[in-house]
Every structure is written in structure tokens, then in C-alpha cells.
């Protein structure tokens, strides 16, 4: 299970199709498991279904962004992270900012990446997202400019 979800059970918008919140959470957990065992196409199908079942829930969009990051589809990840950010209403802000910073760095957009990483640090200075963002921000400052993917 995603460590960010262990801390608090995410509120799930009622999809109106007879599935309970815990069913949607179980589907989300299964997508993370499929990703972990290298079965990305199955994870992607589960996440696409979750986005359709609960379109206002930001977690499936965030998970789709992580999957896109794994595939080095940084432009797709950026789009999905922006969608998750809009839907999250501030929830999980540090985690989303951290991933936005990473994706923007991979795209070679370093000033924007630094802004996102700093936002993650401000929101969660002692938590996992904030600490990771701080390490990444330091690494951006100490390495030469990255070339964007082709």
C-alpha cells in the first residue's frame, strides 16, 4: 500500500454506482501492487477505471502520474499531477508539489521545479515529502543543468 495512504484513509467521493469507499480504496491499492510487480498495463487499466468511477477523487490521478513517471512520460505525468492538484483541494499538497518538482526537473524546467520543491518543503518540512523535496532541491543546486527528454 502507498505509504501516503497509510497515514490517513482518503475520503472517497461516492461514485453513485453501488461501490463503497473501501472498494475504491482496494482497487487503488491493487493498482499500486500491479505497479510494484511490474505489470504496468494492468495498473493503468485499474487506474483508468478508477478515474472513470470516481472522477473527482484525486488519488487515482496522482497514481496515474506516478505510473507515467515510471514510464518516463514526464509531459503526461505533469498533466495528471496538475489534474490531481486541482481535485485535491489542498489535500496531499506536499506530495503533489514534490512530484511536480521532480517531473519539472526531468523536463528541464528548473526554476519551476525549484518553486514546486520549495512549496513541498514549506507544507511538510519534517515529513517524507518535504524531506525528499529538500534533498532533491539540494541536488538540483549542485548538479549541472539537466537536458529535457527528447
Q: What percentage of the chain carries pLDDT values higher than 70? A: 83
* pTM, 2 dp: 0.79
| Domain boundaries, given as residue ranges, for the chain | 1-75, 92-150
Residues 65-120 have pLDDT tens digits of 999 999 999 999 999 999 999 998 877 889 999 999 999 999 999 999 999 999 99
Model confidence at 3: pLDDT above 90: no
Q: Concatenate the DSSP letters of all residues of the chain into one string.
A: --HHHHHSPPP----SSS--HHHHHHHHHHHHHHHHTT-HHHHHHHHHHHHHHSTT-HHHHHHHHHHHHHTT-HHHHHHHHHHHHHHHTTTTHHHHHHHHHHHHHHTT-HHHHHHHHHHHHHH-SSSHHHHHHHHHHHHHHHSPPPPPP-
Amino acid at each position: 500500500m502507498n505509504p501516503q495512504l497509510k497515514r490517513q484513509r482518503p475520503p472517497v467521493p461516492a461514485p453513485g454506482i453501488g461501490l463503497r469507499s473501501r472498494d475504491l480504496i482496494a482497487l487503488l491499492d491493487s493498482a499500486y501492487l500491479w505497479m510494484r510487480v511490474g505489470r504496468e498495463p494492468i495498473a493503468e487499466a485499474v487506474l483508468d477505471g478508477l478515474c472513470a468511477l470516481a472522477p473527482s477523487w484525486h488519488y487515482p490521478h496522482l497514481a496515474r502520474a506516478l505510473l507515467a513517471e515510471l514510464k518516463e512520460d514526464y509531459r503526461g505525468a505533469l498533466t495528471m499531477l496538475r489534474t490531481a492538484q486541482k481535485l485535491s483541494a489542498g489535500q496531499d499538497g506536499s506530495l503533489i508539489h514534490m512530484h511536480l518538482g521532480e517531473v519539472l526537473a526531468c523536463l528541464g524546467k528548473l526554476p519551476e521545479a525549484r518553486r514546486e520543491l520549495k512549496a513541498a518543503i514549506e507544507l511538510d518540512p519534517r515529513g517524507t515529502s518535504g524531506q525528499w523535496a529538500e534533498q532533491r532541491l539540494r541536488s538540483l543546486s549542485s548538479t549541472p543543468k539537466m537536458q529535457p527528454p527528447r
